[in-house]
Chain A
Amino acid sequence: MSTATNDVKPEVKMVSVTIEGRTTSVPEGTTIIEAAKTVGVLIPHYCYHPGLPVAGVCRMCLVDVEKFPKLAPACATTVMEGQVVSVHSEKAREARKGVLEFLLINHPLDCPVCDQSGECELQDYTFQEGRAESRYEEPKRFNPVEDFGGDVLYVPNRCILCTRCVRFMGDVVEEPVLNVSERGDRAFIGKAEGHDLTDAWAGNVVDLCPVGALLSKDFLNKARAWELDRSASICTGCSQGCNVTVETRDNTVVRLKPRSNTAVNHFYLCEQGRLDYRWINRRDRLDQPKVRVDGEWRTVDWEDALDAAAAALAGKRVTVLASPNCSNETLFLAERMIARQGGSGVFRVMLGAEAPLRGVEDLSLRAERAANATGARLLGYADLAQGAPIVNANDVLLVLDDVLEGELPTALTGMMSSGAIVVHVGTTLPAVLEGRAQVALPTTNHTEEEGTFTNLRGRVQRFLQARTAPGLARPSWYVMSDLVERLGAGEGRYMASAVFDQLAATHASFAGLSYATLALRGLPVIDAAERDVLAPTVAV
């Protein structure tokens, strides 16, 4: 799908190095630590982080380089042609053992009550190659726990002074509210009184901290890392589409963590996305299909409910009122229904203030506070803010998910009072539909199903299932697939990937994409301009 371009890229000189006996070729200027990754060697480290300027202070990544008199820090040494690097030589292992011992002498060794336990790099490396017992016989240093504001708690006794947090706030957020205070073994991470970690992106210091020194107040004492189940997902907080890992304990989402994707969010996630997860666990879900009979809701089985919905929809013009948090798959199937029966689709998106992460290009908490408004647009849905479609009393209004929450704009109240039959497909039955809808079909939310979102830059990204569905709820694309088949608008598809394949075959923007090619990093859709150029080539 790539095109030959006339841009001549400057020739990158490649350098060949051998790391742990494995030879690799990397661009000139690559550090040893990054070169090692290309041959599957992880060099132990603390202060190094690919998203931050190199500090070279933890001295954990010292490696043995042939012909070098001293061990070299892999994070701060660039590769040279023909270099031979040994990560596990006796000398390098002894040096790391030494560092681990130094880092632990004043450490409280309170793993049993530490939130980081189980995902702590100090624990991991000590387990791998540290000393079995301590030689330290002196009193330990003690400093009190400090509230850094925002969601962050500082436990100085566990701190190894790697300065990742200081560099993140200084060089990435570009608001140096953290510092290293004092010096020698009295040093600690400090801040100024009255200047808290309130930036929209400050919470990332908790993820960046390799040990249990910076903790999330929200997650404090909530779960042990090894009890958690993890699934790849996408944040629905805004249209940036940050890659996240949904972490559940006993089927309850307890934490969202950023999942690195240098094309979208690098290593980061904002506070809004990070802390807005409780709704996922809400217990007042619609968990059984319902049909209104003689004005009263009656719980029915799926077949009856789908038949009722299909009967209501059959032969009618349909207006789809969709949530911009519906997946591409669901929106696509609804669009198929519109294509068959006539009608139109609109979505309603909430807006908020932008909050860019200054040190990273094109990363921001976006104004559109939903995951898939771009997907909706690409599939032909209109923004409600641009004007409401006309709904006749004879039409059917198909409501997809949580689009009717909060105070309704006049455009919506107009649609609601049109007299049209309302079919609701969603996770909860909104109050406004309680006495209004004809059929209510319970669906799963995005952590309970599989699907894709399209972010504001047109990148299509997959999300996976993280928890089980409540009651009889079914994935929304699955419900829509059943409806579409019943209405003769298409064949039923019972795998999300199959729905997506159909979408890719139908909509040129998505051409060439599939779950396999998207993998877990996503791919951009073809933009309109490029599509026009490409069309003839594809035909040949």
Chain B
Amino acid sequence: MGFPHPSHERETPVLSKYFGDPEARTLAGWRARGGYASFEKALGMDPVEIQNIVKDSGLRGRGGAGFPTGIKWSFMKPDGKTHYLCCNADESEPGTFKDREIMRWTPHALIEGVAIGAHAIYAETAYIYIRGEYSEPIRIMQAAVAEAYAAGILGANAMGTGKRVDVHIHRGAGAYICGEETALMNSLEGRRGNPRIKPPFPAVAGLFGQPTTINNVETLAAVPHILREGAEWYQQLGREDNPRSRGTKLFSVCGNIARPGNYEVTMGFPFGEFLNDMCGGALPGREIKAVIPGGSSVPILTREEAENTFMDYEGMVASGTMLGSGGVIVFDDRQDMVRQIARLARFYAHESCAQCSQCREGTAWTTRILERISAGQGNARDFDTLLSIADNMTGKTICVLSDSCATPVVSGLKKFRHEFEAKLGPDHSRGVVPVLLTSNRTVAA
């Protein structure tokens, strides 16, 4: 188990305060650090009261879309129906590994957040859907849930209040798309992880057809802190000139960077200082060439663009990209951008659920062209074709996986076109298409 780096002085550790502290992982250790006090408090409050505190705090979804959490919760009305809370722990966006650390080091923080969330949306049952590859976080979370049940924190009589709060761990089995909320619900129901058409929205008909709220791990883990310290405390964390992004955010940093890892900073932290100071900048003798700031699905920034960006929802949009999940992927001057963009496209081709025509065929086609260019077999037509395919793949499908595949291609072709052009081979004419038929399935004898 890898240990996290020591906290940097300019970090604001709220969620990450106990990362690396094995004692915080146990129920006793968590209680000693003030754990479950917020849940106890929440159980004595009306759900609407909790919704309002979270609304006032300015907390927005940390999974990527950035929807205000309190408002999302307020869609859930006491209508007598069975409600569900799903915690999205299917962290699969390349470059992102923050939820993993939350679950590994502070499992009870998440359980507490989930339990409060369930109470706040009139749900008695919550499921934490953890991606299948997270064998270690799953083990830790399962042990923590068992502890919480044994201590009477969860169950039919949660903390002795007579209220029922059940929390179950559900293991995924290898599918990026299950991080999409409606695909996650399908997967939990025992179906293929296909995203659903909206409407109906989950708050109307979600898991098992019932009103459902889906929140990211980081979002829910922040809730106990907000209840304990108050909405105002959270509200004042962040850059002064942007009232819309508040609180702290965990950024996962990876790729060609001196000190990879998770960093928790207040919203709106200057990206240049973050990369060069906090994360130690490029590796010795290297220079940063490009940065993907919010997980692989957002547009690529050049180093110059990145250094002039604020790390919050609006700041990223101003620079032509998105905050996304906060997964920062750094590329240095050794990297071949064509090859890496091809590799990203291959990721999406592998993960496409196969429902929408554009995504199923487009991601694979894009990959094949990029890999051909990367192998020196590209021709001048390919750029137009790639951009045209990208256009046909954007904004036309049930979910945004297709768009996510197109995004790095479009931004890469725009910002690193010279690298693509340098790869072009001798233009081969149409008609000498290699006829190579490959079977991709194994058939029973």
Contact = CB atoms under 8 A, between A and B. Distances in A.
Which bracket fits the contact residues of B?
A: 35 or more
A139 B358 contact: no
B441 A182 contact: yes
Interface string A86-112: 000000001100110111011000000
A57 interface: yes
Contacts of A57: 355-357, 398
Given A185-B360, A185-B364, A95 B396 contact: yes
Given A102-B392, A160-B357, A185-B354, A136 B365 contact: yes
Contacts of A98: 358, 391-393, 396
Nearest to A106: B361
A143 B441 contact: yes
A494 interface: no
24 contacts: A57-B356, A59-B358, A71-B396, A95-B392, A98-B358, A98-B391, A98-B396, A99-B396, A101-B392, A102-B360, A138-B433, A139-B433, A139-B437, A140-B437, A141-B438, A144-B439, A144-B443, A161-B355, A183-B354, A184-B350, A184-B351, A185-B352, A185-B364, A187-B360
A103 B437 contact: no
Given A57-B355, A139-B437, A187-B360, 7 more contacts: A98-B393, A103-B357, A138-B369, A139-B434, A146-B443, A161-B355, A180-B192
Interface string A40-76: 0000000000000011111110100000001101001
A188 interface: yes
B438 A139 contact: yes
Contacts of B350: 184
B322 interface: no
B201 to A, nearest CB: 13
Contacts of A70: 395-396
Given A101-B392, A141-B440, A59 B365 contact: no
B349 A62 contact: no
B368 interface: yes
Q: Does more than half of chain A's interface fall in helix, strand or loop, or is it mixed?
A: loop
Interface residues on A, range: 35 or more
Nearest to A157: B437
Contacts of A180: 192, 354
A184 B363 contact: yes
B360 A59 contact: no
A142 interface: yes
B396 A62 contact: yes
Nearest to B369: A138
Chain B CB count within 10 A is highest, among A54, A56, A136, A137, for A137
A59 B357 contact: yes
Nearest to B428: A137
Contact of B372 (A54, A138, A144): A138
Contacts of B368: 138-139
B385 A135 contact: yes
A142 B396 contact: no
B437 to A, nearest CB: 4
A316 B316 CA distance: 100
B385 A142 contact: no
B433 A184 contact: no
B4 to A, nearest CB: 34
A434 interface: no
A142 B438 contact: yes
Contact of A99 (B197, B357, B372, B430): B357
Interface in B119-158: none
Nearest to B360: A185
A54 B398 CA distance: 13
B357 A186 contact: no
B435 interface: yes
Q: Which of A54, A144, A185 has the most CB of B within 10 A?
A: A185
